[in-house]
Amino acid sequence: MLVLKAKLIGIFKSNDYTDRDTGKTTIGKTKLQLQTTRTMQDESTKVELLDISIPDEKVAMYKSKVGQNVDVSVGVIGKVNYYGI
């Protein structure tokens, strides 16, 4: 397990998705919008925004922390995509 440390900018629910062929609707996930900084090779700093999905049962633990630095347990998909666990 990895822990991502970042500033919590906001919490939002992504849009629902309806498959055109089947008509099946997939409910959008709740996501944390996080601001991080990364030091580049030339020592400059890059600010990045990350949207990380989290389980609905964990939303309450972050609602009061908007604007603060938080630790989020994450897993990694691919090279740079994170998801909350």
Token readout for 4 is 């991502």
pLDDT cut 70: percent of the chain above it: 93
Task: Please state whether the predicted TM-score (pTM) of the whole model is above 0.85.
Answer: no
Domains of the chain: 2-84 (2.40.50)
Average pLDDT value for residue range 60-77: 92
Question: At residue 79, does pLDDT exceed 70?
Answer: no
- Rounded distance between C-alpha atoms, residue 27 and residue 18, angstroms: 9
Q: Which residues are bridge partners to 25 per DSSP? A: 18
Average pLDDT value for residue range 1-28: 94
* Three-point CA angle 43, 44, 48, nearest 5°: 125
- Rounded distance between C-alpha atoms, residue 67 and residue 69, angstroms: 7
